[in-house]
Structure 1
Amino acid sequence: MKKKLNILLIEDNAIEVIKMERTILSLKLNHKITAVKSADEAFIILEQKEYFPDIILLDLNMPKISGIEFLSAFKSNDDLRHIPIVILTTSDFQKDREECYRIGIAGYILKPLKYKDYVKKIDVVLSYWCINEL
């Protein structure tokens, strides 16, 4: 049996949040998703010491504070930096990938256009983090 993950999804697009929730349901996974629309909201949640996600799924293209800016601030916090972050984005720029890996992400996933392909990618990512020992 796979362990239940606490997932923090940082995504400003409501359709993408619904797609993630639908994917979790279709895969019959019992993970808890906390979705926030901005990096500011994510930091507010992460400041609550009783909540630490097992994994963070982060979109790069966000208002105010970009995903890369969030990532830099997050990884400079000693209390948080151990939490794995997987980028889930439409950005296929090599520069973005290199910068994210330099800062310290756990993975970089391009959002595919087809829902079926999206489900497969999310299944693989979450399956890995269910068995990974942190």
Structure 2
Amino acid sequence: MTHSLKPVLIVEDSAEDFTALGRAFRKHALQNPVFRCEDGDQALDYLMGFGNRDAWPATLPAIILLDLNMPGTDGRTVLGKLKETPRLNHIPVIVFTTSSNLKDINECYRLGANSYVTKPVDYFALEEKVRLIVQYWLESNELPSIN
């Protein structure tokens, strides 16, 4: 099951990291479209007004992979706003970041993160983490159908 092929939203400022993630998703045969927001402001624009721009999906994402450290509105702020907004708070947010700082981890769970995954530097380790994310969040887990 790929949850009606709702998009997977990746909020990631690094084009290189997004390219690597896209490659890893394709390797694991992800059927869902992958949509990127380059920063927190763009992510909030899309999520608060999904479907309002031609280039944006007309549906909310099945899951969100959220980087923490971005210029402008950072991932913590995005996470907090998502989880306090009733029509968005059901979307699983997987914080996917290079930080393994316990303070960041605790803060993200306090804000409502559904998962916290440390982004590996090694590409093959990244592929394995992506495989596990796809397997759990999009194939095994039952997600809400609210949109």
Q: Does 1:133 align with 2:135?
A: no
Pairwise mapping of residues 4-83 of structure 1 onto structure 2 (< 5 A)?
4-46=5-47, 47-48=49-50, 50-83=58-91
Gaps of 5+ in 1: none
Kept in 2, the 8 Å contact 1:24–1:31? The answer is: no
Q: Which piece of structure 1 moves more, 41-50 or 89-98?
A: 41-50
Say which SS state the counterpart of residue 108 (structure 2) adopts: helix
3-state SS of paired residue (1:92): coil
Normalised by the length of structure 2, the TM-score is 0.85
Following TM superposition, by how much is the alpha carbon of 1:132 offset from its aligned partner in structure 2, in angstroms? Answer: 1.2
> Which residue matches 1:112?
120
Measured on the aligned residues, the alpha-carbon RMSD in Å equals 1.2
Any idea what the Cα deviations from partners look like across 1:53-90, whole Å, max 9, x if unmatched?
00000000001111111111111111100000001100
Q: CA deviation at 1:44?
A: 1.7
How many residue pairs get matched?
133
Q: Distance in 2 between matches of 1:124 and 1:41?
A: 27
Amino acid at match of 1:23: A
Contact 2:40/2:75 (CA < 8 Å) preserved in 1?
yes
Q: CA deviation at 1:5?
A: 4.8
* Mapped partners of 2:80, 2:122: distance in 1: 31
Runs of 4 or more, structure 1, over 3 Å off, are: none
Task: Tell me the TM-score normalised to structure 1 length.
Answer: 0.93
Unpaired runs of 5+ residues, structure 2, are 52-57
Give distance in 2, aligned partners of 1:20 and 1:92: 19
SS in 2 for 1:74: helix
Q: Which amino acid aligns with 2:77?
A: E
